[in-house]
Amino acid sequence: MEDHNRMEKMKECCGSRTKERTEKEYRDLINRLSRIEGQVRGVKRMVEQDVYCTDILVQVSAINAALNSFNKVLLAEHLRTCVAEDIRAGKEETIDELVATLQKLMK
Annotated domain spans of the chain: 15-105
CATH of the domain spanning 15-105: 1.20.58.1000
Query: What pLDDT, on the 0 to 100 scale, is given for residue 16?
Result: 61
pTM of the model: 0.78
Q: What's the pLDDT tens digit per position in 65-91? A: 999 999 999 999 999 999 999 999 999
Confidence of residue 18 (pLDDT cuts 50, 70, 90): confident
Q: What's the pLDDT tens digit per position in 26-76? A: 999 999 999 999 999 999 999 999 999 999 999 999 999 999 999 999 999
Write the CA distances from 64 to 4, 18, 89, integer angstroms. 34, 26, 36
Contact 32/73 with Cβ under 8 angstroms?
A: yes
Query: What pLDDT, on the 0 to 100 scale, is given for residue 17?
Result: 80
Helix (H), strand (E) counts: the chain: 5, 2
Please state whether 38 falls in left (phi above 0), alpha (psi between -120 and 50) or beta.
Answer: alpha
What gap in Å lies between CA 93 and CA 3, rounded to an integer?
22
